[in-house]
Amino acid sequence: MSNTLEHLQWRYATKKYDATKKLSDEQRHIIMEALRLAPSSFGLQPWKFIHVTNPETREKLKAAAYGQSQLTDASDIFVLCSLTNMDETHVDAYVQSIAVQRHLPQESLAGFREMLLGSIKGRSADTLREWNARQVYIPLGVALAVAAENQIDATPMEGFDPKQFDEILGLESLGVQSRVILATGFRSAEDEQQTWQKVRFDAKDVMIER
């Protein structure tokens, strides 16, 4: 437990990455799996994660992120996206996945399927989009914690133009919208913020008992 807290104290939102240092295949796999294995409401996973590997694309994204160097200097860039819609097709794909992976007859999940559809159909399109967008921050948080546990630097980033990102990455054809960036890699020795004291409110100010 103490190691976990030490790792969370160690992490910070890295501003400058060492462009010469890259994640190993194992480290990259850990981050990807942390994103994929994150929880979601009903387990519906209303997201896709875009791993941006093309250097030219990363340069374009940097311009759409107001020139922030993490977009090109970090080892790996992930753009976390939410579904623009949630419909019967997605629910059926999820239910079929449950049946296959748990070796269940799909008919046995009929009640669960109807419950999911009822919940979705009871929300407006705008409400669904907002709900999906909020869900994306769950895998972001999981990945940040997992990165810290593995001494991988990471930066959550919202400072970018979503419309430009969507266009550059062709996200409309995937039925998703960009929500937040996760940069991962290793801090540069020149990033002075790594020496700054972490500032958080005292536990007594944020942990409230009733």
Q: For residues 90 and 42, give the distance between their C-alpha atoms in angstroms, rounded to a whole number.
A: 12
* pLDDT tens-digit series, residues 159-189: 999 999 999 999 999 999 999 999 999 999 9
Q: Over the stretch 116-133, which tens digit does the pLDDT of each residue have?
A: 999 999 899 999 999 999
The pLDDT-based confidence of 206 (bands split at 50, 70, 90) is very high
Determine contact, residues 65/158, Cβ cutoff 8 Å: no
Q: What is the pLDDT of residues 31-66, one digit of tens each?
A: 999 999 999 999 999 999 999 999 999 999 999 999
2 pLDDT exceeds 80? Answer: no
Cα(61)–Cα(160) distance, rounded to whole angstroms? 8
Cβ atoms of 182 and 154 closer than 8 Å: yes
Whether CATH 3.30.70.890 fits 2-206: no
Number of neighbours of residue 208 by Cβ within 10 angstroms = 6
The pTM assigned to this predicted structure is: 0.95
In the chain, where are the structural domains located? 2-206
Q: What is the token pair recorded at 171?
A: 């996200």
* 23-36: average pLDDT: 98
